[in-house]
Structure 1
Amino acid sequence: MSKSVNMADQTQKLNFSLILFGNAILGTPMPMLIILGGLAGAMLSPANELAILPVSVQMLAGMLTAAPMSVFMGKYGRKLGFLLGASTAAVGGALGVYSLFYENFYTLCLAHAAMGSALICFGYFRFAAAEVVSEAWRPKAISFTLGSGLVAALLGPEVFVYSKDFFSPIPFAGAYGAITAISLIGSFPILALGLRETGIHNQVDKSKEVAPVGEVLRRPAVFTAILCAAISFGVMVLLMAPTPLAMVGCGFTDVQAGDVIRWHVIAMFAPSFFTGSLISRFGSGKIISCGLLMLCVSAAIAIAGIELSNFYVSLILLGLGWNFGFIGATNMLNENLNPDERSVVQGANDTLIALVSTLASFGSGILISSFSWMAVAVTAIPLVLIAFAGLIFLRQRVRSVA
């Protein structure tokens, strides 16, 4: 008996380690796409207002594929889902190279659509990690999985700098080619995963009646978790997406913009190694509140000025706020769902996150081209206040029930 338990523990550890490796490698293109989307878009776009369109299309594609991808994983398993995501990212990178060689803005948007679908797929690594560990370890598993994105934060901008001129004199084409190579490499840890189930639904007790999705979404804790996750992600995208364009417009170089994005992504993922412990000690609600407060301060610093220090501090606080808000909300959602509800509700959750992120990306492009960087930052504050209102509503609802 002890041998079988030990074997299960070893299998859990191996699967969890492979998930961390896969997430770290396949997440590396994410910070690259933050830089590439705006700069390559500005180079090829027929109008200034369309410069961030590739990033917006990337978000839109993620919104449209979030629920189908979750259902696909529910039926066929996480492993096949992640392999599909890696293949899609590789195709997207190849399309990006083609777009720059032939100066085709519309295939560049198609490339970012493919990579947006892939990135939304990789977002399910956090749920996969929670499923392969014990219940007591789930907050830390989610946190550590997002923390493995720190590798992406460190490698992504470096890969961008060293690969962007690989196909010189065609700027940025080499970076898209690097995304294809990274996606293929990242598929190897996924191939090694030893998950026993063919699909998540196999874990479900078929004799139990499954609650309708609408009923689950109306639960105060589930609704609040999805609202806070969506707004944390949306505000992050709103300020992050136009940052490279704003910085170049203020006279800074693309290398300086890349370094700001690097520290932003580090701030997104580095705290994850202790965020899970903080959630276990203080609860999801308090950690989400701290994250939302940091998002407000980030916007205020962006409003205060356009010095290089303002960009650094604002984007670092933006990353920290996203980390606390998003991980806290993810854990709140996970602890309020039954196994039979997860694949569909997680898909709805990530669809709403992608929808808000898409609107934020489109909105940031309009605001930065028609108004200013300050207008983008001002818009973030009322969004955060909506999330705060959701948390207050949940707290009052819990007190009234008690």
Structure 2
Amino acid sequence: MNTSRSQSYRNIGLLSAVQALGGSSSSIIMSVAALAAVGFAPDPSAATLPTTAMIIGLALATSLATMIIYRLGRSRGLMLGAAIGIPAALLATLAVVLGNFYLFAAALFLVGVSGAFMQQVRFAAADSVDPDLKSQAISWVLFGGVAAGFLGPQLSVTTRTWIAGAEYAASFLVIAVLSLLSVFVVAFTRLAPTRVPGAPAGRGRPLSVLLRQPEIVTPMIGAALTYALMTLIMVAAPLAMVHFCGHAPAEAAGAIQWHVVAMFAPSFVTGAIIKRLGAHLVTAIGLLLIIVCAAVALNGISVGHFTVTLILLGVGWNFGFIGSTTMLATSYRPEEAGRVQAVNEQVVFGSSALASLGSGFLLQVLGWEAINMLAIPLAGAAILLLALGAYRQRLA
């Protein structure tokens, strides 16, 4: 697309702020949702179900969110998505005050729906800058997650007792404020216009044809496996630390915080690395780091082992996810963007939801070591697929 450099950087900066605000909301939920629910859950083992409801809401709404954004336009679509988070967060606050578990799960499901819109921020950035800035735009926007890694948990702790008799209720009230701020920030963006999928003019290739293109399918698989493996190990890690290895909850929280920082901190340079090495190689390096993180986990269960494992997992996710997104963002025509992105989001976050649902079960049945052993061949298979894709690209 043709746009001025100043406008490109403006979009990147504003969308990075949106990423920080949305990521902070997710961090709050990951930090305290289970702790809030355990007091009024029908059974303590069900305390993590509201968090899983959020992930399911995100996964189910990804295609619809993408299509709505392409109907309304990027800015208006993202504003709508952020706005959905306001009543959802208020409902979650009310659920905690009333001690209503099922209302709480429903509220977090709606928060996940709002999050489905926010996942389109990286594509909005890539499609609204000059072509040579695509990889940097994706990585710089995701760099906003570094702020979320620190801001979200800190806000949840600070506001924990603000509403008397309803511990953590105010933490969800904060999410409503963050969602409102996101609406205002998005309003100042000037994003590229969208083309309605299925419009009579400029339809592009049919979806059945697009999904037979290796340059489209390969990054989808790469992103899906990267996200699913990250979710599988990340969700299991704190449970393994506290309930299987006897570490303190504070130590588990510290390891997770470093993991979140590692997920987003490399984003400052990932785009430049992709420009130098290529998206295929950077994605493969990310998956290789996930293999290394699994190997570290298999060699010890100390706090240090868990922390290093989660840091490597975070960096591996960063390289794998941004590399895959960059590959996908350059594989389709503008008029095909809505359809391709909708399918990609469904595949990626559907895989993540399945990994989240299966993580606790696999930990109980097979154990922490088995989860990490499972990650190694899956990541290895994805690396081979990327190597084949790079070979085909070189031949072309």
Q: Same fold (TM over 0.5)?
A: yes
Letter of the structure 2 residue corresponding to residue 160 of structure 1:
S
Q: Confirm or deny: 8 A CA contact 1:38 1:244 kept in the other structure.
A: no
Q: Which residue of 1 aligns with 2:136?
A: 140
Q: Confirm or deny: 8 A CA contact 1:64 1:351 kept in the other structure.
A: yes
Q: Select the residue among 9, 13, 28 that pairs with 1:13.
A: 9
Change (3 A) 1:275 1:196: closer
Query: In the aligned structure 1, how far is the partner of 2:287 from the partner of 2:297?
Result: 16
Q: Which residue of 2 aligns with 1:318?
A: 313
Tell me by how many angstroms 1:90 deviates.
2.2
Matched residue of 2:166: which SS? coil
Tell me by how many angstroms 1:89 deviates.
1.9
Q: Which residue of 1 aligns with 2:363?
A: 368
**1:3-402 to 2 correspondence within 5 Å?**
8-47=4-43, 49-195=45-191, 197=193, 200-201=194-195, 207-249=201-243, 250-398=245-393, 401-402=395-396
Letter of the structure 2 residue corresponding to residue 364 of structure 1:
S
Letter of the structure 1 residue corresponding to residue 20 of structure 2:
A
More moved, 382-391 vs 119-128? 382-391
More moved, 67-76 vs 57-66? 57-66
Q: Confirm or deny: 8 A CA contact 1:161 1:255 kept in the other structure.
A: no
Change (3 A) 1:375 1:50: farther
Unaligned runs of 5+ residues in structure 1 are none
Query: In the aligned structure 1, how far is the partner of 2:21 from the partner of 2:64?
Result: 23
Letter of the structure 1 residue corresponding to residue 69 of structure 2:
M
Query: In the aligned structure 2, how far is the partner of 1:348 from the partner of 1:16?
Result: 24
Letter of the structure 1 residue corresponding to residue 160 of structure 2:
K
Letter of the structure 1 residue corresponding to residue 29 of structure 2:
L
Q: Confirm or deny: 8 A CA contact 2:78 2:118 kept in the other structure.
A: yes
Letter of the structure 2 residue corresponding to residue 201 of structure 1:
R
Letter of the structure 2 residue corresponding to residue 260 of structure 1:
A
Q: Confirm or deny: 8 A CA contact 1:279 1:287 kept in the other structure.
A: yes
Q: Confirm or deny: 8 A CA contact 2:196 2:338 kept in the other structure.
A: no
More moved, 185-194 vs 216-225? 185-194
Query: In the aligned structure 2, how far is the partner of 1:208 from the partner of 1:86?
Result: 30
More moved, 222-231 vs 84-93? 84-93
Deviation per residue, 1:97-131 (Å, 9 max, x gap): 22222222222221221121222211111111112
Tell me by how many angstroms 1:209 deviates.
4.7
More moved, 213-222 vs 315-324? 213-222
Using structure 2 for the length normalisation, give the TM-score: 0.92
More moved, 333-342 vs 384-393? 384-393
Q: Would you say how many aligned residue pairs link Structure 1 and Structure 2?
A: 394
Unaligned runs of 5+ residues in structure 2 are none
Change (3 A) 1:332 1:196: closer
Tell me by how many angstroms 1:29 deviates.
1.4
Tell me by how many angstroms 1:247 deviates.
3.2
Using structure 1 for the length normalisation, give the TM-score: 0.90
Change (3 A) 1:37 1:306: farther
Query: In the aligned structure 2, how far is the partner of 1:323 from the partner of 1:394?
Result: 20
Query: In the aligned structure 2, how far is the partner of 1:226 from the partner of 1:384?
Result: 14
Change (3 A) 1:208 1:269: same
Change (3 A) 1:176 1:132: same
Q: Confirm or deny: 8 A CA contact 1:157 1:259 kept in the other structure.
A: no
Query: In the aligned structure 1, how far is the partner of 2:195 from the partner of 2:23?
Result: 26
Query: In the aligned structure 1, how far is the partner of 2:17 from the partner of 2:198?
Result: 28
Q: Let me know the Cα RMSD of the aligned residues.
A: 2.4
